[in-house]
Amino acid sequence: MVLCFPWRWPLLCARIAGESRQGTGKGRNIRVSEIEQDDPVATIEAAGQRLRDAREMLSRRIIGQDRVLDLSLIALLCGGHGLLVGAPGLAKTRLVDTLGTVLGLDSKRVQFTPDLMPADILGAEVLETGKDGSRAFKFIEGPVFCQLLMADEINRASPRTQSALLQAMQEGQVTIAGAQRPLARPFHVLATQNPIEQEGTYPLPEAQLDRFLVQIDVDFPDRAAERDIILATTGATDADVTGVLDAGELMGMQALVRRMPVGDAVVEAILDLVRAARPGTPDSAAVTDEAVSWGPGPRAAQALMLASRARALIEGRLVPDAGDVAALARPVLKHRMALSFAARAEGRSVEDVIDQLVADHLRVEAAA
């Protein structure tokens, strides 16, 4: 297998800086920080173990949503943002709060409403009077100045307010009163949407949807998980969670993801899948031309490449494979594609189209 190396191996490896008996109690509390020269396999295995420890800690409070936890971690490992779509009461807000605790991130929450203004998110300059009577403008930071921002029910705010997040999500900075202000690092947005109630909402434009690395569908738990939920959440105390990672360690793992090697076969599979999903192009698939009105751009291929690496890292694997691409096809492509009117009238879904593309181009069964 031919491997594509973004950097040479010495730069890939991170030093296993130290061991601690604190943490989850599984394995070593390893920090990915210093540069090592000789053992990339141990580095990836160590980082994967730390991530699995974090996932286990998250599952103490978020019960029966293992796939949601995995996709949320993948989005953050890629340095990206996630769009959580699900009915009310499925622990979306609880998930973001718990992620902030377990990953050691400064998290804030904004409830999006029709009367929310851009300044309510970004902040604003106010005229302040000093003790000597002098006046000067002072900038008051908005909630966007954090490391993990929850945009709750983002589609309830006006398009003007929604667009206030665009620059922040793409560039990691905002422009206020003509001045550019950098945001904290790392910076991630996890936004939520309710797919059931659409009255009084403003659908996100394609440009903003494309800023989200993945769309994470939050479904109802199965019977066994729901039983565990009601037993765990109706007692006198809540499940206790503690920090497993911190912001610096997460950033180290984000750098590691971008340095992981990828086989040529996986690169070609990503290109085949994304290009086949674009209607009216030389590489488009027949099902795409029949059912899709617009398809994913190059950002989708970038997202699949990074997300496949992140999934492999969580599992402690050195390189991603076609199974990673297949498992991530829906969350990466779903919000970047739209069905034609005729396809919607026939009752077809974007998921069906993606599954068909995966079956035709990857020869791997799509993940449910």
* Side-chain half-sphere CA neighbours of 263 within 13 A: 14
Name which of 102, 143, 72 is nearest 247 in CA terms: 102
Give pLDDT tens digits for 109-148: 999 999 999 999 998 888 888 777 788 888 888 999 999 9
Sequence-ordered list of residues with C-beta below 8 angstroms from that of 165, at least 6 positions apart, any chain:
121, 144, 151, 154, 189, 208, 211
Contact 305, 346 (CB under 8 A): no
Compute the distance between CA of residue 353 and CA of residue 366 in angstroms, rounded to an integer: 11
For 170, other C-beta atoms within 10 Å of its C-beta total 14
For the segment 258-264, the average pLDDT, to the nearest whole number, is: 92
Give pLDDT tens digits for 38-94: 567 788 888 999 999 999 999 999 999 999 999 999 999 999 999 999 988 898 989
Give pLDDT tens digits for 166-201: 888 988 899 888 888 999 999 999 999 988 777 778
The ranges assigned to domains in the chain are 3-259
Output b/e per residue, 97-119; b: 16+ Cβ within 10 A.
bbbbbbbbbebebbebeeebebe
Query: C-alpha distances in angstroms, 51 versus 32, 175, 227?
Result: 11, 34, 27
Query: C-alpha distances in angstroms, 260 versus 3, 9, 229, 242, 310?
Result: 10, 9, 37, 29, 9
Sequence-ordered list of residues with C-beta below 8 angstroms from that of 62, at least 6 positions apart, any chain:
68, 69, 91, 94, 95, 98
pLDDT of residue 158 exceeding 60, the answer is yes
Compute the distance between CA of residue 101 and CA of residue 62 in angstroms, rounded to an integer: 13
Compute the distance between CA of residue 120 and CA of residue 165 in angstroms, rounded to an integer: 11
Q: Which token pair is 104?
A: 């050691």
Residue 364's pLDDT is what? 54
For 239, other C-beta atoms within 10 Å of its C-beta total 14
Fold of 3-259: Rossmann fold (3.40.50)
